[in-house]
Structure 1
Amino acid sequence: MKWTDDRSDNVDDRRGSGSGGAIVGGGLGTLIIAAIVFFLGGDPSAILSSGGSAPQQTEQRQLNEGERQTGEFIKMITAENEETWAKIFAENGRQYTPAKVVLFENNTQSGCGTAQSAMGPFYCPVDHTVYMDMSFFQELQQKFGAKVTEFTVAYVMAHEMGHHIQNLMGTLDETNKARTSGRFSESQLNRVSVATELQADFYAGVWARRTDSREHILEPGDIQSAIDAAEAVGDDNIQKRSQGYVNQESFTHGSSAQRKEWFMKGYNSGDIRQGDTFNQLLK
């Protein structure tokens, strides 16, 4: 992936700040389970606000060169999301409000409660912020077999920004109303969740297409690395790994094939208007 000269001021890098420490009572099993549940997820407030131990204070430390480079990369990706989505919104007669991005390690505070590494990258609609602990990508590669590249990180960021787009457009409000109405069964709510997640994948594809058209950021293999990541954490693949069989009724993020399909639909069309996953999946 080619870097651009753009950088965003909306990135809060809390790594090394001493604001968090080891997760008490956690462990590798917790990390893997939570990563499965929350990878590329929507609103994690229910889990973030429940259970868990208070963060432990740690001493401040200096970031190493690799960590500083990562910070610059996240600032660049954030800037490219801001520019692309501001243009798309303007084309559709709307005004775009940028999301913030927080880089952290171990744990930090979010508008949805205490954020922990075990939750994977997530978007908090309360404070319009994407939370990223980069250690997640080691788990993605080691436990799910996905080859992690710079564009893998960019895709994950774009998916979480997709949830921000849903928040700005009122989609998340509607899905939350459905969850709290008491009118839908668990399987029906799971289908709503799948539609929400696949639409965020679609938006990630739109972002990739439109940003590449403007900045020529893509290099050979980049799109495939995004597809590999999406397929690795498809519900069917995760269920096969964890329980040995697939139960489609319990899907919450979509199958590997669906995740690839909707990302590529966004990438091939570059048109936000073609991403109505709800009408197509909830019939």
Structure 2
Amino acid sequence: MKYNDQARLDPSQVGGGGRGGGGKIALGGGAGLVVLVIALLLGINPNDILGGATTTDPGTGSGQSSPFAQCTKGSDINTDRNCRFVAYTNSIQEYWGSTQPDYQTIQVQTFTGSIATGCGNASSAVGPFYCPADTTVYLDLAFFDQLTGDLGAKGGDAAEAYVLAHEFGHHIQQLKGTMAKVQGSGLQVTGPTSSGVRLELQADCYAGVWFNHATNDPDSPISEVTSADLADALDAASAVGDDRIQQKTQGQVTPETWTHGSAANRQKWLTTGFRSGDPKACDTFAAGAA
């Protein structure tokens, strides 16, 4: 990805960078992700399931300055690579703000180790997530080391942007009422064709839609998305497929426990969003769509 050096960045959309205190949800990446996703879908505090201890939210409270405050223009990425997360966030929210009625800017909260959220206490073991209770995207930046290390993705800027765009896809589902419908449906939330997996695949598709439009605005902080960038994003989507993760972590694939979809389906829906550029193309809930 290439950046517009003259673009103005809004660092107020990204905060955090602290470490939470107290207890953590002490689970491995695979199990932790399953538990957190089920909890979020059902509107349950993860600690009601896990019995986790209270964790302090570091936030960006009094006396703490945001590590992203200096990110005010696209050229700042050249001197501080963390500024790219501000660029992704600004671009994603600019797009959805122009297409989603009543869209309101939300926060990306970065953290290290553990954090308290509106959805309960969470540790970095669960990976990036969106909490509908406080409409915030939570991100431990160390996840990207896990993505390229333990999960075997190639990485790159577009891979990082895909992860964030996926989480913002969940915010759009919240605004559209899709998440509430899934929560209240009483349907199975795990398995290849479950409502939970369809929700995740739709978020992948929404991420692809954003990639399609990321450079439309001449003032966008992102000036170019190449075919190589799309390949990096697709590689990341494959790396976080349930089948790939299960094969790596437990040596076997158990589709009935899937929460996010297979590597192939995650790539399929990311591609669908990118090629169409139309959120209406992201109907993963249609019969036979998953």
Category of TM-score, reference length = shorter chain: 0.7 to 0.9
1:208 match: 211
- Kindly indicate whether the alpha-carbon contact (under 8 Å) linking 2:197 and 2:260 is maintained by their aligned counterparts in 1: yes
Residues 222-261 of structure 1 mapped to structure 2, 5 A cutoff: 222-261=229-268
Unaligned runs of 5+ in 2: 59-63, 71-76
Unaligned runs of 5+ in 1: none
| TM, length-normalised to structure 1 | 0.82
| TM, length-normalised to structure 2 | 0.80
- Kindly indicate whether the alpha-carbon contact (under 8 Å) linking 2:39 and 2:45 is maintained by their aligned counterparts in 1: no
Would you say 1:85 and 2:87 are equivalent positions?
no
Q: Deviations over 1:61-91 (max 9, x none)?
A: 996999x9354222221110121112222xx
Alpha-carbon distance in 1 for matches of 2:129, 2:31: 11
Alpha-carbon distance in 2 for matches of 1:209, 1:132: 23
- Kindly indicate whether the alpha-carbon contact (under 8 Å) linking 1:9 and 1:75 is maintained by their aligned counterparts in 2: yes
Give SS of 2:208's match. Answer: helix
Alpha-carbon distance in 1 for matches of 2:131, 2:181: 16
Q: Pick closer, same or farther for the CA change 1:243–1:117 going to 2, 3 Å.
A: closer
Q: Pick closer, same or farther for the CA change 1:99–1:261 going to 2, 3 Å.
A: same
Cα RMSD for the two superposed structures? 3.3
1:54 match: 54
Alpha-carbon distance in 2 for matches of 1:159, 1:62: 24
Residues 112-151 of structure 1 mapped to structure 2, 5 A cutoff: 112-151=119-158
Letter in 1 for 2:268: E
* Mean CA deviation greater in 105-114 or 147-156: 105-114
Would you say 1:32 and 2:29 are equivalent positions?
yes
Alpha-carbon distance in 2 for matches of 1:269, 1:125: 27
Alpha-carbon distance in 2 for matches of 1:267, 1:41: 28
Give SS of 1:237's match. Answer: helix
Count how many residue pairs are aligned between Structure 1 and Structure 2: 269
**Percent identical:** 35
Alpha-carbon distance in 2 for matches of 1:206, 1:186: 25
- Kindly indicate whether the alpha-carbon contact (under 8 Å) linking 2:191 and 2:255 is maintained by their aligned counterparts in 1: no
1:279 match: 286
Residues 153-164 of structure 1 mapped to structure 2, 5 A cutoff: 153-164=160-171
